[in-house]
Amino acid sequence: MRVAVIGLGTMGAPMADNLIKAGFEVTVHNRTRGREEPFQKLGASRADSPAAAAAEAQIVLTCVSDTPDVEGVLLDRERGVINEAKPGSLVIDCSSIEPEATRRMAQQFRAKDIGFVDAPVSGGSEGAIKGTLTVMCGGSEEDFERAQPVLQVIGSRVTRIGPVGCGQIAKVANQVVITGTFMALAEALTLAYRAGADPERVVEAIGGGVAGSWILNNRSQKMLDDDYPLGFRLRLHRKDLGIALATARDVQVPLPIASLVATIEDSLIAQGYGDEDMSNLARFIRHGAGIPDGPMKA
């Protein structure tokens, strides 16, 4: 099976790598063309455009930053996937974008007998590298089954939520949950430190109770060290929060925590911290508590 992978960023690059290792014939394309070179050395083909990448592929996997980027990759009149993808092929979009835009794009592909699955992911760069992502899918049962050979390589938990667009709705819910968890962890660690407890021992203690979570296990050390390598970029989480808040307005659901954190993220981005891991939300709490930059040590 030939798979085209379009978008070789923090998440897309390890997806392509894992597909090559799994024995797929892979064609890659990235807007910054130099990112294709390591994959060519691993045996992948390179394509000059998304359309060219899709021309011989049974499955096209896309993973880019935002709704306009996906629309450009898939629907551009000259370079878009839709121009060269063959009837009977399948698009899997792993980007995190607006649910309604996903539905509109899927309709255009269905009109050409091309399947479509929205499959946003969670699990950070670590999960992408290990192939253990959580994949939230929207699409027909038939298209979901056709996508399984690829999805099982990139993820360890792959769930069909419902029709096209439901994967993006699940991702919206996921981002709302992690918003509150990151913020609460930043508050808790700063409180423990300021009140005189060893915050590393606090992490050890509460990790075995109800407060335990993936975020506590994998991101508390970044907050304690005041060092925020990726991870997941803060500015991309802010983009996802924007989608969540817009979706909530459409269906009239209040999101007070997400709304507050969006404002805090805007401040951090304005200060130049948008390309750090989103665990840098701890900066806001630390600065508010008057804690100087650097590790929090007992």
| Helix 99-110 × helix 166-194 angle, to 10° | 150
The residues, any chain, with a CB within 8 Å of residue 36's CB and separated by 6 or more, are 8, 28, 29, 30, 44, 46
Distance of alpha carbon 62 from alpha carbon 237, whole angstroms = 18
What tokens appear for 30 in the block? 């990235």
Out of 171, 222, 239, 297, pick the active-site residue: 171
The residues, any chain, with a CB within 8 Å of residue 256's CB and separated by 6 or more, are none
Beta bridge mates, 158: 135
Burial 112-144 (b: 16+ CB within 10 A, else e): eebbbbbbbbbbbbebbbebebbbbbbbbeebb
- Confirm whether 171 is a catalytic residue: yes
CA angle 55, 61, 62 (to 5 degrees): 105
DSSP state of 292: P
- Whose tokens are 């892979």? That residue is 26
Distance of alpha carbon 3 from alpha carbon 223, whole angstroms = 38
| Length reported for the chain | 298
Q: Which residues are catalytic?
A: 171
